[in-house]
């Protein structure tokens, strides 16, 4: 598996050979920023189009088919329309906080996006407390949602924001518990080390036995709730709250919420691929030397995107299959079922690790 740190170290030494180190670091940061923005936009376009087609498939429809071949340009047309729409200022709203709220959502998704290990040696932020950092910065989005609802001075956004705040705070606990289960299995909070151990010893969902499978299922449920997607989309329930916490937003301010929602969907899938499905590590079978050699020739980032989009497809499948829950059912699912199961699952994983039962 090719190590991209060789390329990054070569590029850094090349820059420091012709300019001061502070200038080289500044150029590298600028390149990384461009990379994040470009990939951010490409993934958002791909996910929006993919969701529309998958939704149409489940509902026996065609989906977008007017703008461009197979409707491929429909998302670009929607983006252009949104860019040209006026940003309406509500008379009774707190304009400063109302305008700031979408940027909190973008900030949270950008910071969590930067934690993803795309390939061996290719990660923007790779801390030894990476899991802790990921959970911490993902909570910034809750601030944006609550600000959006409160600053709008309207009942529908306020109710949607309160629902979303309660939902996200609740289901973040299950997300944290599932990640803690993986930390127990791997003995580290650094994402690159977690993936490297899976490359060496096998994917966590296999070597972690039953506790890892339980953690993966809980992660899928809680991840759907964290992304405010069906059947956990009560904060944006159109039949009750119009559009929830972003009812009073228009133009690109609404677009920022829309963009962050789809990137959070990809981040959820990418993190599941990282901590459960081996990240950029290929799939190997003991004794199948020829097969394993062919698998190792496939670049790591292709493996990573394939696994991430597989999980994204599962999340979309869940959204278009199950009916929306009531708010009391949603919170009961977390506090009465997922949370106790997650806590017991941590103890079960601790026993598996202590008795050396991991594969």
Give the model's pLDDT for residue 218.
Answer: 94
271-301 tens-digit pLDDT: 999 999 988 888 887 777 888 888 888 888 8
pLDDT at 238 over 70: no
Domain assignment present for residue 94? The answer is yes
- Tally the domains of the chain: 1
Q: Tell me what the mean pLDDT of segment 83-100 comes to.
A: 81
Give the model's pLDDT for residue 313.
Answer: 92
29-47 tens-digit pLDDT: 898 888 888 888 888 889 9
Give the model's pLDDT for residue 145.
Answer: 85
Are 299 and 208 spatial neighbours (Cβ–Cβ below 8 Å)? no
pLDDT at 322 over 70: yes
Mean pLDDT for the chain overall:
86
Domain assignment present for residue 12? The answer is no
pLDDT at 311 over 90: yes
Q: Given 3-state DSSP classes, what are the helix, strand and coil percentages for the chain, each rounded to the nearest 5?
A: 75, 0, 25
Domain assignment present for residue 77? The answer is no
Domain assignment present for residue 6? The answer is no
* Residue 298 region by backbone torsions, left for phi larger than 0, else alpha for psi between -120 and 50, else beta: beta
Give the model's pLDDT for residue 242.
Answer: 65
Give the model's pLDDT for residue 239.
Answer: 60
Please give the Cα distance from 32 to 38 (Å, whole number): 10
Lowest mean pLDDT among 116-125, 233-242, 259-268, 313-322: 233-242
By three-state DSSP, how is residue 83 classified? helix
Domain assignment present for residue 60? The answer is no
Domain assignment present for residue 36? The answer is no
pLDDT at 246 over 70: yes
pLDDT band at residue 260 using 50, 70 and 90 as cut-offs:
confident
Q: Which of 213, 208, 176 has its CA nearest to residue 334?
A: 176
Give the model's pLDDT for residue 243.
Answer: 66
Give the model's pLDDT for residue 219.
Answer: 93
pLDDT greater at residue 114 or residue 1: 114
Domain assignment present for residue 158? The answer is yes
User: What whole-number percentage of the chain has pLDDT above 70?
Assistant: 97
Residue 84 CB contacts under 8 Å (≥ 6 apart), including other chains: none
165-210 tens-digit pLDDT: 888 888 889 999 999 999 999 989 999 899 999 888 888 998 888 9
- DSSP H stretches of helix in 85-139: 95-113, 130-138
97-121 tens-digit pLDDT: 888 888 888 888 888 888 899 888 8
334-352 tens-digit pLDDT: 999 999 999 999 999 999 8
Domain assignment present for residue 55? The answer is no
Output the pTM of the full model. 0.89
Are 215 and 178 spatial neighbours (Cβ–Cβ below 8 Å)? yes
Give the domain range for residue 282: 88-354
- DSSP H stretches of helix in 17-139: 21-58, 74-84, 95-113, 130-138
Cα of 113 vs its chain's centroid, Å:
7
């Amino acid at each position: 598996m090719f190590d991209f740190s060789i390329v990054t170290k070569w590029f850094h030494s090349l820059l420091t050979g012709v300019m001061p180190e502070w200038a080289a670091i500044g150029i590298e940061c600028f390149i990384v920023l461009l990379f994040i923005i470009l990939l951010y936009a490409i993934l958002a376009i791909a996910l929006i189009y993919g969701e529309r087609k998958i939704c149409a498939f489940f509902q026996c429809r065609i989906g977008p088919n007017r703008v461009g071949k197979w409707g491929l340009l429909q998302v670009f047309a929607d983006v252009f329309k949104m860019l040209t729409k006026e940003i309406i200022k509500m008379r009774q709203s707190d304009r400063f906080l109302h305008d700031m709220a979408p940027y909190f959502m973008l900030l949270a998704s950008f910071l969590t996006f930067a934690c993803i290990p795309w390939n061996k040696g290719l990660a923007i932020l790779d801390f030894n407390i990476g899991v802790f950092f990921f959970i911490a910065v993902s909570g910034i989005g809750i601030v944006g949602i609550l600000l959006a609802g409160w600053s709008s001075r309207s009942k529908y956004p306020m109710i949607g924001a309160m629902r979303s705040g309660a939902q996200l705070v609740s289901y973040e606990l299950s997300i944290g518990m599932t990640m803690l289960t993986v930390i127990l299995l791997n003995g580290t909070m650094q994402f690159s080390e977690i993936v490297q151990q899976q490359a060496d010893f096998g994917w966590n969902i296999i070597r972690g036995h039953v506790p890892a499978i339980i953690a993966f299922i809980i992660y899928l449920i809680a991840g759907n709730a964290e992304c405010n997607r069906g059947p956990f989309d009560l904060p944006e329930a159109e039949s009750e709250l119009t559009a929830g916490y972003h009812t009073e937003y228009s133009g690109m301010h609404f677009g920022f919420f829309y963009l962050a929602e789809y990137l959070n969907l990809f981040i959820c899938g990418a993190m599941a691929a990282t901590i459960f499905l081996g990240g950029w590590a290929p799939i190997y079978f003991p004794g199948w030397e020829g097969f394993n050699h062919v698998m190792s020739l496939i670049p790591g980032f292709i493996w990573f995107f394939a696994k991430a989009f597989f999980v994204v497809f599962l999340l979309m499948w869940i959204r278009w299959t199950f009916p929306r829950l009531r708010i009391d059912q949603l919170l009961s699912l977390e506090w009465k079922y997922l949370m106790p199961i997650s806590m017991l699952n941590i103890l079960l994983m601790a026993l598996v690790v202590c008795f050396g039962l991991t594969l």
